[in-house]
């Protein structure tokens, strides 16, 4: 073997070892970056008309596994990592109400919030009970819109053979429309998804869902809130399997990307490449971006900068941002994401303003400040993780 070929082989092996070491330690960096102070959120749930306290109401933290219950005086207290959250009041006698909160990054600081909820009129509560009884009786009867339901579950709930599914399909009703290829849920409904692949029961408060088939892709618009309950593993093996799958779905997710952008490491350390492209020229509001594959590669410093007002970060770009996660190939069997021309898992970020602010633990200040397309836009419920999840670190990796 020539000296040149010998050195080339050695360098190739060395590159693989270095890259593997970076991959194995990336979750350590993610956890360290996302480590922010805990803040105590106190508050009170009250009737918006009478100003009376709402006792025994569930206080749910949107997108997370965190929750608590109000006492007899409607008061509650819960500790959360600093960040931006939507806090919900859930009580059978009241309409679901929410309050956006900004928990500042100051260890030990207590913040307080009052959430007003509107009482449900008694005749509407009676109607809900009747509707629930009707649905319960129809649980084992074929859904009247079974074909549309199958499409809805396949696109929105799960896209493959995961051990995960919709528990209450009888609660979903689709609007009648004359437009072919459109699936539309236009009445709010609560869905329950049992995810035995990742170990969660997911409560989905679905406000609206629209999917439309185009010649090349399938577009979806979803307005929903998600709440996660952790399931109890039956043994140590299942616990380890759940954690490994959670890590697999977390890596390459939008929140993983944001935490990676807040770290001191390069994007490639976590498997990301960043490109800028032409402005969004969608054929419809629900279609994917038409940016070309041959966009210009960007450095992290060109799209991410520290906020001058706090310890957060800003995404900033005059052009659309295309993100490749080179650890995963394209998996788009139903053409939902429109990624046929791409080799790796690919997503786009479009800013709806000058910038989008995010925290070190990967929470956006305003979810409406960006528009996601590609892979990140079409993550089904069965692949979602709570916003308080971080991968567990083995002692030998710390």
Q: What is the pLDDT of residues 236-249, one digit of tens each?
A: 999 999 999 999 99
Residue 95 lies in a domain: yes
Task: Give the model confidence (pLDDT) of 138-181 as tens digits.
Answer: 555 677 788 889 889 988 998 777 889 999 999 998 988 767 77
Residue 240 lies in a domain: no
Residue 132 lies in a domain: no
The pLDDT score that the predictor gives to residue 72 is 94
Least confident span in 43-57, 114-128, 334-348: 114-128
The pLDDT score that the predictor gives to residue 109 is 62
Q: Exposed (0-12), middle (13-18) or buried (19+): which is 362, by Cβ within 10 Å?
A: buried
Q: Token digits for 140?
A: 């084992």
Structural domains of the chain, count: 3
Q: Token digits for 346?
A: 């690919």
pTM to 2 decimals? 0.84
Q: How far apart are CA 187 and CA 307, in angstroms?
A: 39
The pLDDT score that the predictor gives to residue 310 is 84
Q: What is the DSSP letter of 157?
A: I
Q: What CATH number is attached to the domain comprising 45?
A: 2.60.40.1120
- Residue 358 predicted with pLDDT over 50: yes
Contact 194, 164 (CB under 8 A): yes
Contact 228, 164 (CB under 8 A): no
Residues 325 and 360 grouped into a single domain:
yes
Residues 114 and 146 grouped into a single domain:
no
Residue 20 lies in a domain: no
Residue 246 lies in a domain: no
Residues 270 and 357 grouped into a single domain:
yes
Residue 338 lies in a domain: yes
Q: Exposed (0-12), middle (13-18) or buried (19+): which is 249, by Cβ within 10 Å?
A: middle
Taking all residues of the chain, what is their mean pLDDT, rounded to a whole number? 81
Tokens 């009970």 identify what position?
A: 129
Its domain, for residue 273, covers 254-378
Residues present in the chain in total: 398
Q: How far apart are CA 166 and CA 161, in angstroms?
A: 13
Residues 152 and 205 grouped into a single domain:
yes
Listed in sequence order, the residues at least 6 apart from 305 whose beta carbon sits closer than 8 Å to its beta carbon are 313, 314, 316
């Amino acid at each position: 073997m020539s000296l040149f070929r010998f050195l080339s082989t050695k360098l190739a092996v060395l590159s693989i070892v270095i890259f593997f070491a970076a991959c194995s330690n990336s979750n350590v960096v993610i956890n360290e970056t996302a480590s922010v102070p805990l803040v105590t959120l106190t508050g009170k749930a009250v009737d918006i008309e009478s100003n009376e306290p709402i006792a025994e109401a569930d206080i749910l933290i949107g997108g997370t596994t965190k929750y608590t219950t109000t006492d007899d005086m409607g008061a509650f207290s819960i500790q959360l990592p600093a960040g931006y959250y939507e806090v919900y009041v859930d009580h059978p006698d009241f309409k679901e109400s929410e309050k956006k909160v900004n928990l500042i990054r100051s260890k030990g600081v207590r913040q307080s919030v009052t959430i007003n909820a509107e009482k449900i009129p008694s005749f509407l509560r009676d109607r809900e009970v009747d509707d629930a009884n009707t649905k319960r009786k129809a649980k084992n009867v074929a859904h009247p819109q079974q074909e549309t339901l199958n499409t809805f579950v396949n696109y929105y709930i799960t896209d493959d053979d995961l051990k995960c599914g919709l528990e209450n399909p009888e609660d979903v009703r689709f609007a009648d429309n004359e437009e072919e290829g459109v699936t539309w849920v236009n009445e709010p409904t609560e869905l329950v998804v049992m995810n035995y692949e990742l170990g969660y029961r997911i409560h989905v408060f679905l406000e609206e869902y629209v999917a439309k088939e185009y010649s090349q892709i399938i577009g979806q618009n979803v307005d929903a809130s998600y709440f996660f309950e952790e399931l109890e593993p039956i043994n140590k093996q299942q616990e380890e399997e759940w954690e490994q799958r959670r890590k697999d779905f977390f890596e390459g997710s939008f929140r993983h990307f944001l935490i990676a952008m807040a770290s001191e490491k390069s994007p490639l350390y976590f498997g990301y490449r960043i490109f800028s492209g032409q402005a969004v020229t969608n054929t419809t509001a629900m279609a994917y971006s038409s940016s070309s594959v041959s966009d210009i590669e960007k450095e992290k410093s060109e799209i991410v900068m520290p906020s001058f007002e706090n310890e957060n970060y800003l995404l900033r770009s005059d052009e659309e941002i295309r993100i490749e996660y080179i650890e995963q190939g394209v998996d788009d069997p139903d053409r939902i994401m429109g990624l046929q021309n791409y080799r790796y898992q690919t997503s786009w970020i479009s800013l709806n303003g000058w910038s989008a602010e995010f925290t070190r633990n990967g929470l956006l200040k305003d979810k409406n400040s960006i528009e996601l397309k590609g892979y990140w836009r079409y993550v089904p419920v069965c692949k979602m993780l709570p916003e308080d999840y971080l991968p567990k670190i083995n002692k030998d990796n710390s």
